[in-house]
Every structure is written in C-alpha cells, then in structure tokens.
Amino acid sequence: MTLNILHLYPKEMNLYGDHGNILAIKRRCEWRGIKTNIIHYEPGDEIPDDIDIIFGGGGQDSGQGKIEADLQKIAPKLKDFVERETPTLVICGIYQLFGHYFETSEGKKIEGTKILNLKTVAGDTRLIGNITISTPEFGEVVGYENHSGLTYLGEDMQAFGTVITGAGNNGKDMTEGVKYKNCIGTYLHGPLLPKNPRVTDFLILKALENKTGKSQKLEVLNDHIEQRAHKVAVSRPR
Ligand code: GLN
C-alpha cells in the first residue's frame, strides 16, 4: 500500500522546520511497511485525485501573498478533500489561509479558501515562543509559534486544543488551532509531528481507513526518543 501525501507550496510555505512533518509521516509509515509518495505541489501544478494526506506549512506574509491566486484555484478541490475526511494538517500560514482571510499589518487582505470558518487579522506584536497545549484527542501537544496573525474561530468550529503556555490562536481566548473533521489547523511549528507522534499516527490511521474502507490498527512503535524530545520541548521556557 502506498499513501499519497500532498505537500502544499513547499517553496513559499515552509518555516521553522515544517518540512520535518513530512519526514515524520514518511518515517512512521516506513517503519510499519507502508510506502509513501510525496507530491510537492507548486502553483500551476495539477492535484491528483487519489490524495491520502494533505500538509501545508507556514510562511511569511509575502509568501502568503504569492500563493494567494493559485490557492483560490485549488480551493474547491481542497475543500472537497477535507469534507470527505481526508486527514489534513495545516500550520500557521496555510492554517490562516484555510479560513476566510488573513489581513496583514499593512491592511492587505489575503483571501483564504474558506474551508474553515475562521478569520485572521494581524495584531500589533508578534506572538513568538515555545507553546504547550492540551488537546482532547492527543493529550499534551508541544511546539513553537511565531505569528502576527490573531485567529478567531467561528462558533461552529472546535479548537485543536487549549493553551497551557503560549499564545495560541489570538493570545486571549486560550484556544489553539482548529479541528474540523480530520483536518487539524494549528500555529505549532517546530516541527510539530516528530515531537507529537500521536498526531502523526492519527493522520496515518485515518488515511489507511479511508483507503481501505475498514477500521485499522497501527503497529505500535517504540517512541522512546520521540517522548524524550517531547519532554525536553515542554520543559523549555517560553
Ligand atoms: N505571516 C503569518 C503571520 O505572521 C504566518 C506566519 C507563519 O506561518 N509562521 O501571522
């Protein structure tokens, strides 16, 4: 079995180790004898129909501006994947653009895909530092955030987690990220997945279940090193 992983805009949207998320998915698949095929999507490319996992990372405001027009073109296809429960992880810059829009500190509105009911407006100061959150599905999740955007979730949206230390969506309401169907949006870079293997395994498991149409069990891996990395990250000061 081969899982097709769509990596959105790796050139413009790839900050603070985001590419490591792709490596983590690939490795945890390989360790279980599951093959992966990484599709690097850049503006103008075709998106194949048989995508099993979608990933998009963070980027500077200018990078978000560069992909805006292309993202509008592929938005219906991405929405269709998310609505059909395709496991999806979008971080920071692409997380913001999975919502309605991101308004930069210069007042420029970058249109989003509107897949997620949320909007983002730049604040006066950047929210930077290590962050730990508590999530209902994956327990404690740890990462690093660096964003000017303040994200506000629509009433029908559920947060990915609650902030323990750090700022999260907007530094005010203690929410962090969003979880809609099998789509996780979050501000956590770092990269996120190597230090939070339960999140990685969620993406892989859902992909396998969608592909086979049957419930699946993942082979348990020795996560000793991942757990250590997690612990060290949690213990770091903000
Ligand atoms: N440019 C966006 C912001 O500053 C996203 C940053 C990021 O992806 N780290 O909010």
pLDDT, one tens digit per residue, over 136-158 is 999 999 999 999 999 999 999 99
Is CATH 3.40.50.880 what the domain over 2-235 is classified as, yes or no? yes
pLDDT digits (tens, 9 = 90+) for 54-88: 999 999 999 999 999 999 999 999 999 999 999 99
Across 170-175, average pLDDT: 98
What are the residues whose beta carbons fall under 8 Å from the beta carbon of 7, sequence distance 6 or more? 22, 38, 39, 40, 41, 55, 56
Please report, for the chain, the start and end positions of each structural domain, with discontinuous segments joined by +: 2-235
pLDDT digits (tens, 9 = 90+) for 176-228: 999 999 999 999 999 999 999 999 999 999 999 999 999 999 999 999 999 99
Using an 8 Å Cβ cutoff, are 143 and 190 in contact? yes
What are the residues whose beta carbons fall under 8 Å from the beta carbon of 234, sequence distance 6 or more? 132, 140, 142
109, 119, 131, 148: which to mutate for ligand 1, most atoms within 8 A of CB?
148
In sequence order, the β-bridge partners of residue 54 are 6, 88
92 is catalytic: yes
68, 146, 169: which to mutate for ligand 1, most atoms within 8 A of CB?
146
Predicted pLDDT at 73? 98
Predicted pLDDT at 195? 96
Beta carbon of 150 within 6 Å of any ligand 1 atom? no
Across 47-59, average pLDDT: 98
Q: pLDDT band for position 238 (50/70/90)? A: confident
Phi, psi of 151 (to 5 degrees): -105, 135
Beta carbon of 61 within 6 Å of any ligand 1 atom? yes
Ligand 1 atom nearest 93 alpha carbon? 8
pLDDT digits (tens, 9 = 90+) for 97-108: 999 999 999 999
The answer to whether the predicted template modeling score (pTM) of the entire model surpasses 0.85 is yes
